[in-house]
Structure 1
Amino acid sequence: MTRVAIHQPNYVPWAGYFHKLAHCDVFIFLDDAQFPKNSFVNRVKTRGDGAPGWLTIPAKPKLGTPIHAVVPGQADWPARHLDRLRNDYRKARHFSAIWPVLEQVYADLPGDNLCAANVTLIQVLAEKLGLNPEYRLASTIPNQEEKRSDDRLIDLVREVGGDIYLSGKGGANYQSPEKFEVSGIALEMTAFSPAPYDQGGLPFEAGLSILDVLFHTGWDGAASYIRNHADS
């Protein structure tokens, strides 16, 4: 049985995104979806010594631009973000273990393509966390009838030989279990429960970037965290 998960290529996303990566065989980046304004595709929350703040890749594409075609507004954003992350987390417990990897991957990022940068970051961090699903880009998978919503998801799962579609908890609000049943694809729901971890002595804030988990818990701690904290 091949379990498939599908998600937009978000920017250094929260631990729940990696929890889904940990429980699928094939992960499809939905890079042909329209760029969603004010979303997690180009921003995520991190935190230094104070309140959480947005770490944002500047991007203002024309309406209807697919994610894979978005060009950031500043080519040097990787260097800017590195400076911000260094300042935010230099006192974190596992900074010295995480920083060399992060510094290298940011230095090599394609600053002129949002999607390529996001995919690179996700794949590098996932591999370091022991996660190695097969990756595919939705834009490379045929969509002859320009299907949307469940029909498109079902087609994507079929095209990569999937038997099970692994959906996030939010999918229950719009997905039709009947459609998946008729198609012969099993629909599974997964939900990540962001259990508290030590965030440098500050009150716990859920939903921050995976980078926050890494800097505070290390590679092994983060790997255990994303695999084990799921809603029953």
Structure 2
Amino acid sequence: MNYFRIKETISIHQPLFIPWIPYMARLSVSDTFVVLDDVQYRKDYYQNRTIIKERKSERREWLTISVKHRLEDTIKSVEIEKNNILKKVKNKIYHNYHDKKYFSIYWEPIESLLINSESVKLIDLNLSFIELFFDVLNINKPSIFFSSVICENRDRTEKIINICQFTQKKIFLNGWGRSLEIHNQERLREEIIFVRLDKEKVMREVYNEFLEQGLGFLDIIFNYSPKIILNNIEIIRQIYLEEVTECLNER
């Protein structure tokens, strides 16, 4: 078992469809992952699509799950269209990656997931792929909770605080984006320690291909050995660990 979790850390995020490696690395190093399932579904975002590469040209293209939704639907309410979309997704993955070096290692569980999926909910499919990543790379999974079960607070800042209090985690791992800037920074600092991933360090030390914006992890696992993938997750873990240590020392 490959163990990357940093004690007392938490990640809170929407469940994306076959996310890119930095997302999966953050979940791998988190002690707890809270699935943000009760926020509004975002149309034409990474919740129902990911990026893959065309087999011959290496051109980036979308791999999309067609869904049924209304404007006000939360992520947990969105359903997959029943027009053989999972079969189409399976065939598209096979067409573009069947001749890649590490395809044979992973194809069977991926094919089984798409063939045997019985849920009509998009969130179930997304979480199944996230768990598949942990399983095929033998990574110790974080504890998983759902925000809709923890609290109903609609205030964004208080929702994060409530979730951290419920899970008894005070170290919030963020990516290198600016998602926390929509929150009350002063209020957050009163209750939690939030750690932003150092983008410059990651760009300098992690394989460039792993950081290609939006490129789903399927492209990485089919093209790179498990050892290389795990080594790059460990690099991201060390960068987070340095940031966590620095934040704790400042308090």
TM-score, with length taken from structure 1: 0.87
Residue of structure 1 equivalent to 2:65: 57
- What's the % identity of the aligned pairs? 23
Aligned counterparts of 2:184 and 2:128: Cα–Cα separation in 1: 32
Residue of structure 2 equivalent to 1:216: 223
Aligned counterparts of 1:224 and 1:207: Cα–Cα separation in 2: 20
Which amino acid letter does the alignment assign opposite residue 136 of structure 1? F
CA contact (8 A) 1:9 1:115 kept: yes
CA contact (8 A) 1:98 1:218 kept: no
46, 51, 55: which one aligns with 2:52: 46
Structural mapping, 1:67-82, within 5 Å:
67-74=75-82, 76-82=84-90
Map Cα deviations across residues 110-129 of structure 1 (whole Å, 9 max, x no partner): 35110011011101212333
Aligned counterparts of 1:88 and 1:6: Cα–Cα separation in 2: 32
Q: Secondary structure at the match of 1:46?
A: strand
Residue of structure 2 equivalent to 1:137: 146
Aligned counterparts of 1:80 and 1:227: Cα–Cα separation in 2: 34
Map Cα deviations across residues 63-111 of structure 1 (whole Å, 9 max, x no partner): 1101111111235222211100000001111111121121122223235
Which amino acid letter does the alignment assign opposite residue 207 of structure 2? A
Provide closer, same or farther for how the CA distance between residues 110 and 31 of structure 1 changes in structure 2, counting only shifts above 3 A.
Answer: farther
Q: CA deviation at 1:172?
A: 4.8
Which amino acid letter does the alignment assign opposite residue 79 of structure 1? K
Aligned counterparts of 1:85 and 1:132: Cα–Cα separation in 2: 25
CA contact (8 A) 2:49 2:65 kept: yes
Aligned counterparts of 2:183 and 2:234: Cα–Cα separation in 1: 25
TM-score, with length taken from structure 2: 0.81
Q: CA deviation at 1:58?
A: 0.5
Residue of structure 2 equivalent to 1:152: 159
Structure 1 residue ranges without an equivalent (≥5): 199-203
96, 103, 110: which one aligns with 1:95: 103
Residue of structure 2 equivalent to 1:123: 131
Aligned counterparts of 2:43 and 2:11: Cα–Cα separation in 1: 23
* Alignment of 1:83 onto 2:111: no
Residue of structure 1 equivalent to 2:26: 20
Provide closer, same or farther for how the CA distance between residues 82 and 218 of structure 1 changes in structure 2, counting only shifts above 3 A.
Answer: farther
CA contact (8 A) 2:50 2:63 kept: yes
Aligned counterparts of 1:150 and 1:169: Cα–Cα separation in 2: 19
Structure that is richer in helix per residue: 2
Question: Which stretch shows the higher mean deviation, 31-40 or 166-175?
Answer: 166-175
Structure 2 residue ranges without an equivalent (≥5): 1-6, 244-251
Q: Secondary structure at the match of 1:65?
A: coil
CA contact (8 A) 1:3 1:25 kept: yes
Aligned counterparts of 1:33 and 1:118: Cα–Cα separation in 2: 15
Which amino acid letter does the alignment assign opposite residue 134 of structure 1? S
